[in-house]
Structure 1
Amino acid sequence: MSFDTALPDLSFLGDRLSRARSVLDHHSQSESYIHSGSPDAVAFPETTAEVAQIAAICSRHGVPMIGWGAGTSLEGHALAVQGGVTVDFSRMDAILAIYPEDMLAVVQPGITREALNAELRATGLFFPVDPGANASLGGMAMTRASGTTAVRYGTMRHNVLGLEVVLASGQVIRTGSSAPKSSAGYDLTALMVGSEGTLGLITELTLRLHGQPEAVSAAICTFPDIAQAVDCVTATIQMGIPMARIEFMDTDAVAACAAWSGQDMALAPQLLVEFHGSPQGVAEQAERFGEIARDYGCGSFQWAKAQEDRAQLWKMRHAAYPAILATRPGCTAIVTDVCVPISALAEAVEETRADIAATPIPGPILGHVGDGNFHAILLVRREDPAEMAIAKRLSTRMAERALRLGGTITGEHGIGIGKLGHMTAEHGPAWAVMGAIKQALDPQGLMNPGKLVPK
């Protein structure tokens, strides 16, 4: 497309509208193998009014708009596949208000979860959703992110109470409220959370906060095989033990993390667990979990009760992706992401492990198994069509297996470009309904085109 006719209309941004090649290139990359398309320009707004003005101008000229947070998405969500303007929210990163009594925070979309929690330390509150990467909260809302703590605190769906959103026309709307609940009409907040920027651009979020736990304890537990580790997870969840985190890594993932971090770790399937609560409650939860783990063959516990030890443990887990990439230098990754009912978790993981073992593709498995969500990191040479084809077949089989077992093709990464081909299988006619909603709110198809909904 030719963007030159619309460019003068955005001159109100001054040097906060860039067409520099380095800036365009930065906004043309993703964290995985997907690299498709480049924006014609990148805008750096500082206020909701500026975002609304950008949207109104782009709407008049038929120019696509793509929201950009921290660029940590894994399915190509923020790539400008049809050109247009990427709206980078890095300058809209303020905490607008904190209401400790109501356990709420109002923030702009560009602030990251780590920055918010750093500011919240003195209040005794924290924002719990932890996808691993230091993602922007606007991006986390748009992808309905979850992560390591979702088993206890829920996902972004549970922790976003209200939004300010700029629609394709430039109209600004507010959804939700600061009340704990509402029965007033359609839940537009829930509609926007997970919409991947295809319905509007978030300019403000009202977030639910949680009390910092009085006591925290974490441990690494080693198991003789994958089946026993995953069966331990299933039993723990079914027993109702309130885990704050329960993460799984297979032997290959453990080996990668050990090499990356320089830690001495047993090369066997492992669970990383964490308990939050009162000192007595945490001790009781840990004891009950220990009994279950020993029943499933747990060979050892490595406890991390000191804050610095826990920080090191979760730093290692959060670094799993670059650690796994480092095991095959020069490769990229097809990062799978499925979620199944907890009763089907062992079957799904075991079948996936067998599928990967039957190919020449390395694929360590890890995930937030407390809520049935796991990943295989399929390492491939981008320039090798045969490897790419094998990895994509493995990914497709994982998606099909998840659906067969009553699950979903993505538990947290979203659809973007990478999973569009599976949406009909999961949603059937409901996918067309999503397309109709998109058409109603964005009739020109300008908001993040080519993603999530039928083309």
Structure 2
Amino acid sequence: MSSIPTHTTARVVPLCMSAKYFAKPFTGAWRRSFFHSTTKRTSGRGAHGRLHSVAGPHQRPPTWSGGSVVALSATAGLLGFTLAAAGFEAPKPRPIMLFDSKISSPEYASMDEMEAALREIRREIGGVDDIISTDPDDLHAHGYSEWSTTNPDGLPVAVAYPRSTQQVSTIAKICHKYHVPIIPYSGGSSLEGNFSAPYGGISVDFAYMDQIIRFHKDDMDVVVQPSIGWQELNDQLAKLESGLFFPIDPGPSAKIGGMVGTNCSGTNAVKYGTMKDWVINLTVVLADGTVIKTRQRPRKSSAGYNLNGIFVGSEGTLGLVTEATLKLAVVPEDLSVAVVTFPTIRDAAAAAAQVMQTGVPVAAMEIMDEVQMRVVNLGGATAPRVWKEAPTLFFKFSGTRASVKEHIGLVQDITKCHKGGNFEFAKDQREQKLLWSARKESLWSMLSLRKEGQEVWSTDVAVPFSRLADIIEISKKEMDELGLFASILGHIGDGNFHESIIYNRQNKDEREKVEICVKNMVKRAIDMEGTCTGEHSIGWGKKDSLLLEVGPETLAVMRQIKQALDPRWIMNPGKIMDLP
């Protein structure tokens, strides 16, 4: 996946900006693990005692003012005139491109500077004894994830536990001063190495920032801190008898900060959309400690750039979200949950696609193949319930009683046309939770089946509806042919599905098979005009896939945005894109 497919190569302009240039890992960066007393480095120190990359001493990026551009244009014009007068044909001037703006390699704090930064944070944020932790178990928990697809070497040197936006700002200012990497952490449930610390630094854990700050019932919105979980938020709204809820529902342990960072979705996305659709405004601490608010509180605004769109999905690479104002939805009058099985995964996927193409407004529609249904049974999370081990669609219907009844009838007719079995409906709220729990417990059920030394690789893609049945069938066939214990599941209502594969990372053959399977699935999705990630985001693990999907020009724009907001590249470095 390091090369660009033939249909995109025409967009690659100069050789120096080829896919290899962008995809190549940053080999000169130093990494630090708590368990090693020495610091790895690739070159000597610069004038300020910091570590430089193999690219050489830190170089300031050129700046392009209006005057310099005019001067360059005038020089080029004069040169062309001179060559023509001498009888030579002047070469056509190449337009100045965004590619041409050089970005220098970042330099990060030495261990002495890191320790000085920690002392200064403790001094500046007085009265909080546990603002900084260097406990080895704490560091490991904030740099390694057992369910992540990738865990790069290195751990944070410390974990900070701020209590307010002002404390986060203080931490950022000091880290900016000393060139210390900052990695945000909320729920820790991401799957692509999103909160790993490959360049050391400080993990900023928002565990103490988990409150509802303001609730505006009449305006149907709520202001929250980043470490409140979506389930906890909805529990508190229910206790207030507000009649409102927050509809985005990813994994049970997900928290608002991480949900903003990855632009997550969940099972309700087919009706309610993704995280970006429910963010009204954000309070963000930038790399140098500056605090900004992206917007005011109305639900719509056309005032200036859409800064919400920049920070939602940025994975903390542009700033740290310390508050979010979220829209709320009205709790529907009626809710029904049902499951239906199919003889093949293609039948199930085709039925799901037709439900969407027909325009039936289901609240949620999920898919699980026969392997995943078996996993749920073996895991025992929904015991004593035993599920039929066949490809299964899970439906959630919500609205008025009349509309729910109508929509159920329409979906039943569609599933019958695709060899679907009888609908099984939940009789009451307890059964609704039980039926839906099979989908919600899928990853945890997979994790519970691991033997010693085994891990789970869980990743996702999304494609247009018309290609859904094709990609699921082909991907599943490939997994079976490679002899992998793997399952298909996902939010099929918006073209998004996941592969979960149990394998032994230490077994080279097994790991290679998994990597082949995942890379093929991603390339297949992109070839179908899909995306390499529907909701898990890029993190550390899918940077090559992002390049393959958007091409070097688009990635160059992202790099320029990163450079503008974080010129020292201290905000969650190495995620979404490699260091310069």
Shift in Å, 1:178 = 1.5
SS at match of 1:411: coil
Would the aligned equivalents of 2:335 and 2:399 in 1 still touch at CA under 8 Å? yes
**Letter in structure 2 aligned against 1:248:** I
Shift in Å, 1:254 = 0.6
**Letter in structure 1 aligned against 2:495:** G
| Correspondences of 1:149-298 after superposition (within 5 Å) | 149-260=268-379, 261-262=382-383, 263-298=385-420
Check if 1:35 corresponds to 2:151.
yes
Residue in structure 2 matching 1:126, options 245, 248, 256: 245
CA distance in 1, matches of 2:459, 2:273: 21
Gaps of 5+ in 2: 1-109
CA distance in 2, matches of 1:95, 1:189: 20
Would the aligned equivalents of 1:435 and 1:454 in 2 still touch at CA under 8 Å? no
Shift in Å, 1:96 = 0.7
Residue in structure 1 matching 2:455, options 312, 320, 332: 332
Residue in structure 2 matching 1:75, options 189, 192, 197: 192
Which position in structure 2 is the counterpart of 1:57? 174
Aligned Cα root-mean-square deviation (Å): 1.1
Which position in structure 2 is the counterpart of 1:116? 233
**Letter in structure 2 aligned against 1:303:** F
CA distance in 2, matches of 1:199, 1:388: 33
Residue in structure 1 matching 2:421, options 270, 277, 299: 299
Moved more, 326-335 or 75-84: 326-335
Which position in structure 1 is the counterpart of 2:132? 17
Which position in structure 1 is the counterpart of 2:534? 411
Residue in structure 1 matching 2:511, options 381, 388, 395: 388
Shift in Å, 1:441 = 0.3
Check if 1:314 corresponds to 2:406.
no
**Letter in structure 1 aligned against 2:329:** H
CA distance in 2, matches of 1:327, 1:10: 43
The superposition leaves residues 166-193 of structure 1 with CA deviations (integer Å, 9 ceiling, x where unpaired) of 0000000000222121111110011100
Shift in Å, 1:300 = 2.0
CA distance in 2, matches of 1:328, 1:29: 18
TM-score normalized by structure 1? 0.98
**Letter in structure 2 aligned against 1:324:** M
Which position in structure 2 is the counterpart of 1:5? 116
SS at match of 2:143: coil
**Letter in structure 2 aligned against 1:25:** H
Check if 1:443 corresponds to 2:542.
no
SS at match of 2:546: helix
**Letter in structure 2 aligned against 1:163:** L
SS at match of 1:392: helix
CA distance in 1, matches of 2:340, 2:451: 29
Give the length in aligned residue pairs: 455
Which position in structure 2 is the counterpart of 1:374? 497
Rate the CA distance shift 1:305–1:216 in 2: closer, same or farther, 3 A: farther
Would the aligned equivalents of 1:223 and 1:299 in 2 still touch at CA under 8 Å? yes
Moved more, 439-448 or 259-268: 259-268
Shift in Å, 1:76 = 0.7
Would the aligned equivalents of 1:33 and 1:333 in 2 still touch at CA under 8 Å? yes
Structure whose alpha-carbon radius of gyration is higher? 2
CA distance in 2, matches of 1:100, 1:195: 29
Moved more, 97-106 or 143-152: 97-106
Would the aligned equivalents of 2:149 and 2:456 in 1 still touch at CA under 8 Å? yes
**Letter in structure 2 aligned against 1:337:** D
**Letter in structure 2 aligned against 1:357:** D
The superposition leaves residues 284-327 of structure 1 with CA deviations (integer Å, 9 ceiling, x where unpaired) of 11111111111111112110141111111222211101212333
The superposition leaves residues 104-148 of structure 1 with CA deviations (integer Å, 9 ceiling, x where unpaired) of 010000101011000111100000101123211011000000010
Would the aligned equivalents of 1:97 and 1:107 in 2 still touch at CA under 8 Å? yes
CA distance in 2, matches of 1:254, 1:49: 47
**Letter in structure 1 aligned against 2:133:** S
Check if 1:26 corresponds to 2:149.
no
Which position in structure 1 is the counterpart of 2:164? 47
The superposition leaves residues 1-26 of structure 1 with CA deviations (integer Å, 9 ceiling, x where unpaired) of 41222121111243221011121111
SS at match of 1:4: helix
The superposition leaves residues 48-88 of structure 1 with CA deviations (integer Å, 9 ceiling, x where unpaired) of 00000000000000000000001000001011110001000
CA distance in 2, matches of 1:325, 1:67: 25
CA distance in 2, matches of 1:328, 1:5: 42
Moved more, 33-42 or 96-105: 33-42
Shift in Å, 1:35 = 2.3
SS at match of 2:130: helix
Identity of aligned residues (%): 41
Shift in Å, 1:354 = 1.2
CA distance in 2, matches of 1:131, 1:399: 21
Question: Larger % of strand: which?
Answer: 1
Which position in structure 1 is the counterpart of 2:67? none
Would the aligned equivalents of 1:334 and 1:392 in 2 still touch at CA under 8 Å? no
CA distance in 2, matches of 1:394, 1:366: 16
CA distance in 2, matches of 1:197, 1:404: 29
